[in-house]
Structure 1
């Protein structure tokens, strides 16, 4: 069935962005012609996709100027594409790609779907900076006028509704369903896994220190980010090289192979502002789909998961001794003893259920 063309854009090198990949794949499989636009900030790893994609080349040396450069170049790119074909839907991912999409949408009266992966203006990286005022200004001016909006957690949805009177559709960033018939490995030592960006307020440094209080366990950190060097130095300073491994940034398919072998996953984000406080981290849903139990932070979305499914334990605070105690509790219980609850959660918290809501939004946008 022939549908409208969807131009998806994001300030992303697209290489490891699983949400954008899943959204574009779903749209492509359901008859939409997809044109994905990212950029080369942070590298431009080789990709293969069954739909059209491109990366805007940035020459900026700082992230601040890269945002301005990307938005200007994205506007010109969208302008050229829309002049050729107005039978399209614009799809902006996060606030840092929204302005050019909004301007083109207004100018040519074409539908715009806004996907807010987080509360961008309240992220730790912008807090207390002049740029936060700019992002808040853009958000305040544009978001109340958005007709089609999705976001990644129920708490995010309530935040946007309370602030702007807009009711986003919740499309959680759940992975595709895994038919789980893999024998659970008997790891020795036991494997504790953190996967995701190595950023502040993720609890990674506290988890490293927690390894002093654990025996027969190794902490694997899969990902990259601005705090990686600091945490590598912390491991050396604390003489924990035998207990902590950095695996680096992995392709999604390679990361899944690691996740499925872990004894325990970790999502112990700290309250680094409203964006973190109300988040449902991808790693929680990834571990559930891999049938790996978790230790999780005492934050609303993770408490909500725990209240529905006994897939792990909640930490009361970020003291290393407390983190170690909760890790030990899950390891002592054993991965096999969480399987029934993980199976129930995995059956519900999967992309196959989320994409139904996504397609409803794009169907409504198509009819405008």
Structure 2
């Protein structure tokens, strides 16, 4: 049986979005004809994919107008490409409206993937735009037939609010068959990987370095707070203990993760989207068999309850972060290996993609 065409869209330049890449690759490898549509907001790096992709050219100068422009252009792009043999696949609320309107107009299936609770993200909190995103969400989400999301807590939130039951597809990496010799680093390496955004605990971890000896803190990623945190490092005279590695290709990041002694995911509670998140970096570190220090937030405490893969910080005081770091480093990475091994068998993309394919099977009927 010939599979349907899937038009996947996202307000993204697509380059570093690992979730979209994994989803598209799985669908492509299982016989779906994939076309991925993003935009050039935030750059237009060279990319190679085994399926078709394109980026909508945006001329907007501000993010606010870029959202409007993208949604308008995306609707016309989808309209050109969709037919009765198409499944629409919208990633996050900022790409949902054109997909929803077209799915209604053509009476074709739509799968919505909510990577987070977009209307409750710190970036929109207290702004006029939050009202708009909430309005859109309230109007559209209760009417969706196929929805997936990235954590059990997100699914529960959507279910309580809208009575919809999203399928949980965690953003886990593919399984790594681990035969890596654990390095004996001196100094020890603490790694943060991901966007340099507020509420990630990065500034608190920088200050925690005052309380640690023989540890170097590597920050891999880019984002709006990078300059502020670089200035903080200089102000605190911690240049010898902290390195900013910039934005890395996924394969380069993987090598750095494998070589770390400890990862961190100490997000602060910056609203429901952060409170209920299961950050990619947690699952990436688990696959790399690297222990973590974690926030006392629901998804992270849930994993820690199942597998002893690191330590939960008491709170975001730099002294307490340093205490948790010391605890893990003193035990040593080797001591966490059996629990990390168990967790890596369960928290991997191979298990998640089974659920993904079931959703698209149902949408194909």
- For Structure 1 versus Structure 2, the TM-score category normalised by the shorter chain is over 0.9
Cα shift at 1:2? 2.1
Structure 2 counterpart of 1:75: 75
Structure 1 counterpart of 2:207: 209
Structure 2 counterpart of 1:65: 65
- Alignment length, in residue pairs? 365
Q: Distance in 2 between matches of 1:139 and 1:252?
A: 31
Q: Distance in 1 between matches of 2:17 and 2:298?
A: 24
Structure 1 counterpart of 2:241: 243
Structure 2 counterpart of 1:117: 115
Question: How do residues 33-182 of structure 1 correspond to structure 2 at under 5 angstroms?
Answer: 33-82=33-82, 85-182=83-180
* SS of residue matched to 1:125: helix
Structure 2 counterpart of 1:225: 223
* SS of residue matched to 2:123: coil
Structure 1 counterpart of 2:352: 354
Q: Distance in 2 between matches of 1:64 and 1:316?
A: 38
Structure 1 counterpart of 2:279: 281
Cα shift at 1:86? 2.3
Q: Which deviations, in whole Å up to 9, do the C-alpha atoms of 1:212-248 show, x marking residues without a partner?
A: 0000000000000000000000000000000000000
Gaps of 5+ in 2: none
Match for residue 294 of structure 1 among 292, 295, 300? 292
Q: Distance in 2 between matches of 1:68 and 1:189?
A: 48
Q: CA RMSD in A?
A: 0.5
Q: Distance in 2 between matches of 1:179 and 1:265?
A: 19
Cα shift at 1:253? 1.1
Structure 1 counterpart of 2:12: 12
Structure 1 counterpart of 2:30: 30
Structure 1 counterpart of 2:196: 198
Q: Which deviations, in whole Å up to 9, do the C-alpha atoms of 1:44-103 show, x marking residues without a partner?
A: 110000000000011111111110010000001001112xx3201000000000000000
Match for residue 333 of structure 1 among 327, 331, 334? 331
- Indicate whether 1:253 and 2:251 are aligned: yes
Q: Distance in 2 between matches of 1:346 and 1:152?
A: 17
Structure 1 counterpart of 2:266: 268
* SS of residue matched to 1:70: helix
Tell me the TM-score normalised to structure 2 length.
1.00
Q: Distance in 1 between matches of 2:59 and 2:84?
A: 30
